[in-house]
Structure 1
Amino acid sequence: MSQRPTPLIALLIAATSLASCGSSGPAELPPLSEEALAAVTQDAGAPKDQLARQVDEVFTGEGVGETRALVVMHGGKIAAERYAEGYDKDTRFVSWSMAKTVTAVMIGMLVADGQLRLDAPAPVPRWQRPGDPRAEITLRQLLQMRSGLEHTEAGDPPYESGEVRMLFLDGRDDMADYATAQPLEAEPGSKFEYSSNTTVILADIAARALTSSKDPETRRKAVADFLHSRLFGPLGMTSAVLEFDASGTLIGGSLIHATARDWAKFGEMLRNKGSYRGEQLVPRAWVEEMVKPSPKSPHYGLQTWLNRPLPNGEEHPLFPDRAPHSAFAMIGHMGQYVFVSPSQKLTVVRLGHSDAPQRKAMLQQLADVIDLYPAS
């Protein structure tokens, strides 16, 4: 004859049985820190807690590298803003290759002024000598990174790359002279090849459109005055600092400094097709041209990356599977981004330091932030 369990034993058996069944509900998320919640504004355009959590992941997520600044603009207002320790709203961050898009805007303004022509041969004096095949390279081809000039952006060892040699070694005092001296390795217009040297050629073209002087200080002043009076000043980008080489050429492919908020202002201007607070600073048609895919690179426009798919599943620097194909971005070395999505009324700035594997993880976290804003 079996003995019935006592009430205490029966209770323990029941508790054990329930524990073994597990919970069918979703796992409870950890509470948000005060820092995470403080990063999001009341009128963020997305659920505050969700946005705070996704922004927090961009800073604290595993394997994303070091995020130093994040600014989310929605509908022209700051929706979220956060900085890592040691950085704040007044810190100037280096652009690296985000500067290329600024250079393209400067070229567009000079085209609108009648100083340059987009589909004419690029006005590079060295290339105009009789019989030089580089005379066929157009300004558009330079802007679309399909000049055909011989170049290696990232070599192994690094000192053998054309970019490193131009920036730091034998080309550093006169970067445009070094870049324009390269021979053709392909027919102009026939292939896409990303090149920081090409953007320095564009910066030199801009300087010569603004002044006929070869004096370095005169060249520096002409370009700086143009950008500050026509672009940075009206935008309120008061933090912008430009770097030039010894010959007075803007290092327009990599060295412009500004705060995260000021980079966001630049992105907002592009989102609004050249307009900022009712003033048309850059021709609308030029910004539209900047975000058209080139014939040789569906993910690249005029010195601007496009969130458009690549054929055959090629690796993409953005995330066309997770955001509108109308979106575009300024991208800089080691994880600098100004991501612009007009259909979502969104500009997102992420600045920091992430190597190639970390950037892949970080971009997915950034896409989680962007996912919170529906396209209209």
Structure 2
Amino acid sequence: MTSRHDGEVLEPSDRPVDPWEGVNEAALAQAVQAQAARPVPGIEDMASYLAAQVSDTAHREVVGPLLDGQGASGVVVRRGAVIASWGEPTRAEMAFSATKSVLSLVGGIAFDDGALRLDEPVCRSVDLPQFGTAHGRAITWRHLLDQTSQWEGELWGKPTWVDAQSTREGTESAGGAPGEGWAYNDVRVNLTALALTVLSGRSLPDVLRTRVMTPIGASDDWSWHGYENAAVDLNGTRVPVVSGGAHWGGGLWISALDLARIGHLCLRGGAWGGRQVLSRRWIEELWTPCPVKPHYGLSWWLNDDRSVWPRAPRTGRCARGNAGSHLLWVDPARELVIASRWGAEVEQLLAEVSGAVPPVPGPLSGQGTGA
């Protein structure tokens, strides 16, 4: 399946590169055509779709804006050029938990500016009551970003215990110290967004736009939302605080093409068009395994042991949301980025596209051993 976006170059390059080198074009076309035919059902009514996913009736109220889904879309990018696409890849969709990985880029901006030190307690740089308790004072920025803070409380009317994701594959224990256990928890990610807003002194969409999205040539169609009651006072100004997911609405609304730009930026070690947008050091931190959750980095999933996507290459890293129906896949070994929106069976997509695109020679290629 092709579209008018196929062949589009996201990042111009001075070096002669062939995005089609070694690619099995027929297999690639078959893979994306199959993905276009696997839309997630029920997304055309997002309110009903979300209601069906929430088991706790006391906290199922949506408190952020919603965007109805419009079907499967996506792009495959190799060496900075679109080599396949399906649906309408310029159409913005809710990103759900893929938002968390974009939030980590905002953390990287603060890191590069010297305002954020990963292993320093958050309370040293921001004044918030959540970090004023004995437990809160021990929480570092790394704990927030790799989901090991083990913070318990309520934010924007949602308590931490209501997020069912925390119990599915978490390693934490009640009352544990920061860093000793891991849980995937939207309320804690929202706390991260609040802390980063206070640290940045302005709204996170403004930071992301000026420091990342504009430099990488993204469209103006993306937006980032919080809950109706989520705001913080910064020097007398009420500043909205965005959410890191979409369990209760909000989150990042972005197209597959713009999401792929973010993926390509990370693949290139934070560089774009000869400019270092994010430091290579930060990209390395994003993809450093968490000690208590080795296939998770700083809000990015790592497939090193193939526990995230068993049929996909171990060289891949990803942002994913809503059980993978929103996926940004970055595979440096293949110089490959895949952005898939509202498509089911994404593991099959990853396996088939990766089979059609060979690793490039180098230390990340896996040397033909299952990469």
TM-score, shorter chain, exceeding 0.5:
yes
Q: Distance in 2 between matches of 1:57 and 1:39?
A: 19
Shift of 1:112: 1.6
Pairwise CA RMSD of aligned residues? Answer: 2.8
Match for residue 263 of structure 2? 267
2:329 is aligned with 1:344: no
Match for residue 178 of structure 1? none
**Does 252-261 or 226-235 show the bigger shift?**
252-261
2:38 is aligned with 1:47: no
Pairing 1:1-376 to 2, within 5 Å after superposition:
36=1, 41=6, 44-45=20-21, 46-60=23-37, 65=40, 68-83=72-87, 88-123=88-123, 125-129=128-132, 132-150=134-152, 162-163=162-163, 185-211=175-201, 219-220=202-203, 223-238=204-219, 239-245=221-227, 246=229, 247=231, 248-254=240-246, 255-309=251-305, 316-319=307-310, 321-323=311-313, 325-334=314-323, 335-352=325-342, 354=344, 359=345, 362-376=346-360
CA offsets 1:299-337 (integer angstroms, 9 cap, x no match)? 100000001226xxxxx3323x531x2320010114100
CA offsets 1:102-155 (integer angstroms, 9 cap, x no match)? 1111011102212222111123521454x6222111111111111122489xxx
Q: Distance in 2 between matches of 1:235 and 1:37?
A: 24
Q: Kindly indicate whether the alpha-carbon contact (under 8 Å) linking 2:2 and 2:84 is maintained by their aligned counterparts in 1.
A: no
Matched-pair identity in %: 23
Shift of 1:346: 0.1
1:235 counterpart SS class: coil
Shift of 1:199: 1.6
Structure that is richer in helix per residue = 1
Q: Which runs of no fewer than 5 residues in structure 2 stay unpaired?
A: 8-18, 42-70, 165-172, 232-239, 361-371
Structure that is richer in strand per residue = 2
Count of aligned residue pairs for this structure pair = 289
Q: Distance in 1 between matches of 2:78 and 2:343?
A: 25
Q: Kindly indicate whether the alpha-carbon contact (under 8 Å) linking 2:35 and 2:343 is maintained by their aligned counterparts in 1.
A: no
Q: Kindly indicate whether the alpha-carbon contact (under 8 Å) linking 2:286 and 2:300 is maintained by their aligned counterparts in 1.
A: yes
1:244 counterpart SS class: strand
Amino acid at match of 1:250: V
Match for residue 65 of structure 2? none
Q: Distance in 2 between matches of 1:90 and 1:144?
A: 30
Q: Distance in 1 between matches of 2:226 and 2:129?
A: 21
Q: Distance in 2 between matches of 1:37 and 1:250?
A: 35
Match for residue 7 of structure 1? none
Q: Kindly indicate whether the alpha-carbon contact (under 8 Å) linking 2:122 and 2:131 is maintained by their aligned counterparts in 1.
A: no
TM-score with structure 1 setting the length: 0.70
Shift of 1:227: 1.6
Amino acid at match of 2:271: S
Q: Distance in 1 between matches of 2:4 and 2:161?
A: 40
Amino acid at match of 2:183: E
Q: Which runs of no fewer than 5 residues in structure 1 stay unpaired?
A: 1-35, 153-157, 165-182, 212-218, 311-315
Shift of 1:210: 2.2
